[in-house]
Amino acid sequence: MKLGVCYYPEQWDESLWASDARRMAEMGLSTVRIAEFAWGLIEPRQGHFDWGWLDRAIDTLADAGLQVVLGTPTAAPPHWLVDAHPEILAVDAAGRTKGFGSRRHYCFSSDVFFAASERVVTAMAERYGAHPAVIAWQTDNEYGCHDTVVSYSPNALARFRQWLAANYADIGELNTAWGNVFWSMDCKRFEDVGLPVAMPAPPNPSHLLAFRRFSSDEVLRYNRMQVEILRRLAPGRDVLHNFMGFFSEFEHHTMGRDLDIATWDNYPLGHLEGTRIASEAERAAHRRTGHPDIAAFHHDLYRGVAGGRWWVMEQQAGPVNWAPWNALPAPGMVRAWTWEAFAHGAELVSYFRWRQLPYAQEQLHSGLNTPDNMLDTGGHEATAVARELQDVPVEATTRASVALVVDYTGKWAIDALPNSPDFDVQALQLAWYGALRRLGLDVDIVPASGDFTGYALVVAPTLAVVDAGLAGRLQRCGAHLVFGPRSGSRTSEMHIAAGLPPGALRSLLPGLRVVAVEGLRPGVSFPLEAVGAGFAGAASAQVTRWRDVLDVPATLGVEARYADGHAAIVRHGNTRYVSGWLDATGLDALMRQAAVDAGVPAEPLPDGLRLRRRGKLQFAIHYGDAPVRVPAPANARFVVGGPVLETAGVAAWWVDDSRTA
C-alpha cells in the first residue's frame, strides 16, 4: 500500500523541481506520474524530439528516491499535427469537427493519428524503457473523456464498413441480422451502410448497437498498439490505463486483458454532482463526503478488470472544477477516501495533483498544495495517511461471497432502445450494489464473461443480452441468483429474445414470459404486496421507473405482487426474477432475504457506515452525520481508529485475534 501524486514539471519553473521532489518524499509519497499531456514539448515538430527537460525531470525525481509512472502523451496531440492533418480530428453527431485548443481532440479511426501515436510512443519507450526509475507506463489518459469514443468522421465511416465486412459473411447476413426488411432498409453492399446519425426517424437499434461495438473495438485496437510497443521496448515494466467513473463507452474488461494494472480516477464529489446517477436528496446529503457507495463500486469494478491488480491513479484531494457545483470535502474525507481504496485492495493511491495551477482550464482544481506552494488540507491528510501506513501490514484482498454482474454490451443494448429516459443501467447497478453494502457485505463486480464459480450469491441488476452459454454458466455455478428487470430481453443483434424475454434465462426460470413492458414516468409507482415469507419486511416497498409484465406459470413461486395482481418477484429454486425497479426499501428486504437463503451472514449497518474486508483486516469507513459504533468485538485490536467513528472516520481491526500485528 503506497501513495503517489500526479505532477507536471513542464508547467512549473525548473527551479521548483528539486524542492518539489524532496517534499514529496518527505511526505511519504513514493510514486509520481508525469508527461501524459506533454506531446507538444516532447515532439515540438514532426520527427524532432526534445528530451532534455524530461530527462532532467525524471532524474530529479529519481534523485529524491521517487519512482516514475510515465504517461504516453497521446491524449493531447500538438498543433503542428492538427495543422498538417486536420482529418485526425473527431466529428460529433451534429457534423461539427472537434477542434484544437483543449485535449482528446482526435478520432480513434484516423490512420494518420494512429501512425503518429506509434511514432511518439516508440520514441519515448526507446528512450526510457530501461530507465531504472520508470517502473510503469500509462497509456494515453482517460480514453473517451469529454465524449470522445464515438466519432462520426469520414475515417470512422470507412473503418466501420471494414469492421462490418469482417464481422458479417456478406451483406445479406447483415440485412437479416439487422432486420433491414423493415422500412426498406436493405443494403446491397457494405459501402451502402452509413453512420447511425442525422436521420429523420430513430436509427435501427441493431445498427446503433453494431456501431457502439465498433467504436469500442477502435479504442481497444488503439490501446493494444501502445501496449505492444511498451511490451517490446520496456520489458518488465507494468502497463496500465486510468479509467473513469460511470463510463461505459468501451469494453473495459476486454482492455484489461492487455494491461497489468487497472487504474481509475476517483473524484467522489465530482462523480456525485457531475452525473445524474444519485438522487437529488443523495447529492444534497453527501455533497461534502461523496456518496457512500460510488467510489467503492468503482474500486470493486476495477479490481476485476485486469486480473485483480488495481490502483487509484487520480484521487481527489480537494475541490474539483468540472462538476456543476464543486464542494469543499468535509474534514478527514481525503484521508477516508484513501483508506477506503486500500480497504478494497488498491496497491497505490495517487493524488491529483501536486500543486494547484494558477492558469488554464484547471486553475480551480485543487491539489495537495495551493498555487503559492503551501500544503493544502488534502496535503495534510495525505501526510497523515503516510504515517499511518507505517503501522498497517499489507493483506491480500479477500474474495467476496457475493458477485454483482455487469455487461457493457447489455448496457449499449438498453441505451439503443431505452423505452424510458429514466432507465439508467448504471443507476440501477449502483442501487443494487448499495443494498448489498448496507448489509455489510463485500461484493466482487464480475463481467458477464467472467467466472461465477465459488460465489454464494450472484446478482444481476439488469443483463439484457444473455445467450445459452451465459445462462448455463450461471446455472452451473451453484449460487443463489437474482436477476433484475429487462434481463434476457435482447439477442446479440438487438432482437426481442426468442419466445419472449427472459430468453435464455428460461432454463433457470421455466415457462416465465415477459409479455409487456412499462416505462413509469416520474411520480408513478406501484406498491408491492408480499406473498408468503420470501419478501417479508418490505411492507412499504415500491417499484418506480420501470416494470416488466410477467406471465407466470404455476411451476414458479410468486413472492410479491403489485396491487393490480401482476407478479413483481418470482422464484424457481435458487433463482429469483425481479420485474421492476425496486426502491431502497424493497432492495434492502430482497437482498437480505437472498443473503439468508445463500447462507451469507448479513446485518443492516448504521446509516452511512460501510465495511470492507482485506485479508485478516476488517475496515470501516463512515459517511454519515452521526457517530456510530463499528461492528467489532469488544476485544478487537485496532490498527487504525477505534470502535466509534465520527463523520469521515476510519477504523481497521484484526478479525483473527490470534494474529500478531
Note if the bond before 353 is cis, omega within 30 degrees. Answer: yes
Q: How far apart are CA 426 and CA 411, in angstroms?
A: 8
Quick one: which of 605, 591, 474 has its CA closest to 541? Answer: 591
What is the rounded distance in angstroms from the CA atom of residue 627 to the CA atom of residue 647?
7
User: Of these residues, 36, 43, 142, 249, which one is catalytic?
Assistant: 142
> What distance in Å separates the CA atoms of residue 78 and residue 261, rounded to the nearest whole number?
28
CB 341 within 8 A of CB 349: yes
- Decide if 273 is catalytic: no
For residues 100 and 40, give the distance between their C-alpha atoms in angstroms, rounded to a whole number: 13
Taking the CA of residue 349 as centre, how many other CA atoms within 13 Å lie in the half-sphere pointing to its CB? 28
Cell (9 digits) for 650? 476510519
Helix ranges, 258-406 (H): 268-274, 280-285, 294-303, 333-343, 377-389
Catalytic residue among 314, 347, 381, 388: 314
**Which residue pairs from 55-61 have beta carbons closer than 8 angstroms and sit at least 24 positions apart in sequence?**
56/14, 56/17, 57/9, 57/10, 57/17, 58/34, 58/128, 58/131, 58/133, 58/134, 59/133, 60/9, 60/17, 60/18, 60/21, 61/7, 61/21, 61/24, 61/32, 61/34, 61/133
Q: CA 38 to CA 53: how far, in whole Å?
A: 11
Measured distance CA(84)–CA(46) in Å, rounded: 10
Nearby residues of 26 by Cβ (< 8 Å), 6 or more positions away:
none
Candidates 446, 427, 406; CA nearest to 583 is: 427
Q: Nearest CA to 354 among 36, 21, 37, 75?
A: 21
* Residues in Cβ contact with 448 at an 8 Å cutoff, skipping those fewer than 6 apart: 405, 406, 407, 409, 410, 463, 465, 466, 470
Distance CA(117)–CA(139), nearest Å, equals 11
Q: Residues with Cβ < 8 Å from 248, sequence gap 6 or more?
A: 408, 411, 412, 425, 426
Q: Is the CB of residue 220 less than 8 Å from the CB of residue 137?
A: no
314 is catalytic: yes
Q: Quick count: other Cβ atoms within 10 Å of Cβ 360?
A: 9
Q: What is the 3-state secondary structure (H, E, C) of 508-538?
A: CCCCCEEEEEEECCCCCCEEEEECCCCCCCC
Extract the C-alpha cell encoding 644. Answer: 466509534
User: Would you say 137 and 240 are in contact if contact means Cβ atoms under 8 Å apart?
Assistant: yes
Residues annotated as part of the active site = 142, 314
